[in-house]
Amino acid sequence: MNRLISSLLLATALTAGAALAADSDMDALLLADHASAPPAKASDWRVFVEGAAGRTALRGPGTNSGSILNQRLSIDVQFDKSFAPGWRAVFADRLDINWHNEPSRQNSVNSFKEGYLSWAAAGDQLFDLGRINARHGVAIGYNPTDYFRTGASRSIVSADPSSQKKNRLGSGMLRSQTLWDGGSLTAIYSPKLADQPNRASWNPDWGSTNNQHRWLVAVSHQIAEGINPQWLIYGEEHDATQLGFNLTKLLNDSTVSYVEWSGGRTRSLLTRALNEQGINRPDDSAFRNRVATGLTYTTANKMSLTLEYQYNGAALDKANWDALGRSSPLGYGLYRGAVHNAGDMPTRQAWFLFGTWQDAVVNNLDLSAMVRFNVADRSRLSWLEARYHWDQAEVALQWQRNSGHATSEFGASPQRRIVQAVVRYFF
Amino acid sequence: MMMRHLKTMLPACVALAGALGFGALAWAAPNAQEILAASDAVRNPNYPFGLTTTLVEYRNGKQTSGSTLAIYSKEQANGGQFRSLIRFVAPARDANKLMLKSGNELWFYDPSSKASIRISPQQRLLGQAANGDIVTVNLAKDYQATLAAEEDIQDGDRQTRRCYKLALAATTPDVTYHNIEMWIDASNNRPVKSRFYTESGRLLKTAYYRRYQNNLGVERPTETVIIDGLDPNWVTVMRFSDYVKREVPETWLQRDYLPRFKPE
């Protein structure tokens, strides 16, 4: 009897469930009947305005007191148009106007990011001439094969690696590319156009990106299903040829792995930094490796987590890094400046952790978190962001903390903590 | 006398009718895999083509987002799966971003950073393109179909259709949906409705294919209504337009072409 009642209840529940599903399906179809969705037209322009306001807590000598207020207004323009069969014009520029209240000052930085003409001589043979943001590399936090990154960061507005990749100068170059089924060959020549960087607000700053002759050849070819390695050879006026390699692999439905390597005979970063300032130091050229390797794992509930190991064989080891910070403020300062300009790591090893959670808690809210951890001095940069977006606008709240001892990679930063709100509107 | 005769004959008649019925069923039993392949051909041309997909998303009856994708698609040379280049046209914050899908090899390209990032199939599901690219997929290549039933159902236009109900089981381990139930119009092989399931049997989404119109010489669905499996109040309406037969060169369908892609 009990079994009969249970069966009847189960059957009733299933029938009710099916009926509910059918009802919700019908509701959805009714909703769709009234959907108005004219397709949008593609545009050659992408323009946004971004405003930011925040407070930066400063690290004073011996104390942690003091803070300044910052405001920023940015205008970012991208233009990409095919103006004749086989011809294309690309332009990208960004203006950052910054205000710092204590002490009161204002500065503007215009970054002429790209401006080039592209010509397809044939469908598979292309030539580009102008300022081009030529990016190579598959890692997320550190790109040893991104050879044209040196001197490219003119205005840093966020610790987010994606923001730093977007907001940088291209290099003046002539680039040719030949494509075939499953592969390509790229050749780049980037000439010397100026001697010194020019930080004047509206200067195109060729001296930051084109202060020596450089060249690069990159070839990639698919060797098996889903396996498409890239090999690179890079040369510059003041250093020996470097080799590079990029590879990604899908481990399973939710995990991508990657490895990026660059190696070659080169001076240590310290020797290079001092030599650039005219300070003599014995040539310590040796074969040195740079590596970034990691995994990105994505969960079913829209969370993505990247863990990356970073290695720089040209940087200082722990003992020399500690010693430089203690014994030579001048050398330490020059070294930090050169490493920052090169977009490189100051010490041998680091870990990078980056996580995003889309539609976190509520729809359209994205949470991001990042930690950069220096293995040698155990300093770290922590960064959090909550970003809510509509179709044309975004609002974000960002928090950043630099922690570590006074001469560590992140502890030496004068900015101890940054909190800022950002509003962006796309036209 | 008559009744007795009837009683004697009845088992024989039933047996004969059963045999005839069974024989007829066995003779007419349609090949489920062929039905599935024919239904794939209704959704997608078997030559390179482009189309525009417009997505409108609703939560609890209110429109929460809209996007437009331009899709360029081509079957693999050996008659395999579709490979697609997907360009985000709208919203403005995603404009001109690209996604390349070649089997399970997926690349995402952002023209702002010039960075091409390889993503996993699970990561692909994070964006609108998760729905956007289900249009260009050859189910018959990745699934084994069996005929589960033949039944009348309400289609997306609320008409009653006689349909084959197919049960699709993934034949490759790395597909997004491990099992699919699909209802296909028995008279013309048009897809009518699908239900997509995870490996554990959880319903991920229900799709209705509707508003059939002639596109590139075949009556194809110009709208798919997708209902989330967990939250039935989450509805996505996909509209397909601007079907055009066009060349999609092999050289387009690789990572290194992404920074070059600029349709005229």
The chain A residue lying nearest B110, using CA atoms, is: A166
Residue pLDDT, tens place only, A274-325: 998 889 889 999 999 999 999 999 998 889 999 999 999 999 999 999 999 9
Name the residue with higher pLDDT: A53 or B6: A53
Instruction: Name the nearest CA neighbour of A140 among A253, A269, A254, A304.
Output: A304
pLDDT over 50 (residue B26): no
Q: Is A218 in contact with A136 (CB distance < 8 Å)?
A: yes
Is the Cβ pair A123, B103 closer than 8 Å? no
Instruction: Name the nearest CA neighbour of B237 among B8, B43, B61.
Output: B61
In order of their start, the domains of chain A are: 2-35+43-426 (2.40.160.10)
Rounding to the nearest 10 degrees, give the CA dihedral for residues A257, A149, A117, B110: 40
B 32-51 residues inside an 8 A Cβ radius of A: none
* Residues of chain B found within 8 Å of residue A254, distances taken between Cβ atoms: 120-123
Residue A117 backbone phi and psi in degrees, to 5? -110, 140
**How close are the terminal C-alpha atoms of chain A, in Å?**
69
Q: What is the ipTM of this complex?
A: 0.90
Q: Does the beta carbon of A98 lie under 8 angstroms from any beta carbon of chain B?
A: no
Alpha-carbon gap, residue B50 to A361, rounded angstroms = 36
Alpha-carbon gap, residue A229 to A247, rounded angstroms = 5
Residue among A29, A299, A302 minimizing CB distance to B208: A29
The chain B residue lying nearest A425, using CA atoms, is: B93
Which pLDDT belongs to residue A348? 98
* Residues of chain A found within 8 Å of residue B263, distances taken between Cβ atoms: 42
Alpha-carbon gap, residue A407 to A379, rounded angstroms = 10
The chain A residue lying nearest B58, using CA atoms, is: A31
A 307-336 residues inside an 8 A Cβ radius of B: none
Is the Cβ pair A177, B92 closer than 8 Å? no
Residue pLDDT, tens place only, A370-427: 999 999 999 999 999 999 998 899 999 999 999 999 999 999 999 999 999 999 999 9
Which pLDDT belongs to residue A29? 94
Angstrom distances, CA of residue A60 to CA of A64, A70, A413:
5, 18, 10
Q: Does the beta carbon of A258 lie under 8 angstroms from any beta carbon of chain B?
A: yes
Is the dihedral angle over the CA atoms A22, A23, A28, A33 positive or is it negative? positive
CA distance A204 to chain B (A): 19
Q: Which residues contact B26 (CB under 8 A, 6 or more apart)?
A: none
Q: Does the beta carbon of A78 lie under 8 angstroms from any beta carbon of chain B?
A: yes
Q: Is A199 in contact with A206 (CB distance < 8 Å)?
A: no
pLDDT over 50 (residue A11): no
Q: Does the beta carbon of A366 lie under 8 angstroms from any beta carbon of chain B?
A: no
What pTM, to 2 d.p., does this model score? 0.88
**How close are the terminal C-alpha atoms of chain B, in Å?**
87
* Residues of chain B found within 8 Å of residue A88, distances taken between Cβ atoms: 262
Alpha-carbon gap, residue A169 to A45, rounded angstroms = 19
Tokens 């699919």, residue located? B180
Which pLDDT belongs to residue B29? 64
Mean pLDDT calculated for residue range B129-145: 74
Which pLDDT belongs to residue B126? 55
Residue pLDDT, tens place only, A343-354: 999 999 999 999
DSSP one-letter code for A204: -
Alpha-carbon gap, residue B13 to B7, rounded angstroms = 10
Alpha carbon A68 to chain centroid, angstroms: 27
Name the residue with higher pLDDT: B47 or A104: B47
Three-state DSSP class for residue B206:
strand
Q: Where are the alpha helices (DSSP H) in chain B?
A: 2-28, 32-43, 121-124, 129-132, 139-142
Is the Cβ pair A179, B235 closer than 8 Å? no
